[in-house]
Amino acid sequence: MISQLTVFLENEKGRLAAACQTVADAGINMHAMNLADTADFGVVRLLTDTPEAAAEALRAAGYRAAVTPVLAVRVPNVPGGLAKLLSFMDEQEANIEYGYCFSVNADVAIDVLKVDGDSGIEQKLTAAGFEPVRPEDIYDLD
């Protein structure tokens, strides 16, 4: 599991830019971002090189921020890479709350999944030939 930063923002012009600037001003690098919205607020999910420090900087600036464990899996950056992973997760009856992906390079993508429950899923993935990402693999992408 890796640590993901979740930030709740009001649906107002400039709030996302201001939150990202807060992270930048703290000297923290963002590696991935996912933004979803509801009627009243946006939910920003970030992978950074120092998630706890990013959360602290955002809280100090008045944002609601939390650090959440998520599963990250390295997959081939080809059509069907994500589908193969999701099929395996379905076979394991894993409940996926949300997910997003990003390319590391032309050959490798990282799929990030919030999985409810199964604490042994990383071992099952490894046994099936998948490659779960270690925290330092994300934090050291700089």
DSSP string across 69-130: EEEEEEEESSTTHHHHHHHHHHHTT-EEEEEEEEESSSSEEEEEEEEES-TTHHHHHHHTT-
CATH number for the 2-68 domain, one of 3.40.630.30, 3.40.50.1220, 3.40.640.10, 3.30.2130.10? Answer: 3.30.2130.10
pLDDT over 90, % of the chain: 82
Residue 67: pLDDT over 60 = yes
pLDDT of residue 92: 92
| Residue listed under structure tokens 């990202």 | 20
Evaluate whether 2-68 and 70-139 have a shared fold: yes
pLDDT of residue 89: 95
86 or 37, which is more confident?
A: 86
CA atoms within 13 A on the CB side of 21: 6
- Average pLDDT for 7-14: 91
| Residue listed under structure tokens 């900087």 | 57
Name the architecture of domain 70-139.
Answer: 2-Layer Sandwich (3.30)
pLDDT of residue 118: 64
Domain positions in the chain are: 2-68, 70-139
Q: pTM score, two decimals?
A: 0.88
pLDDT of residue 100: 95
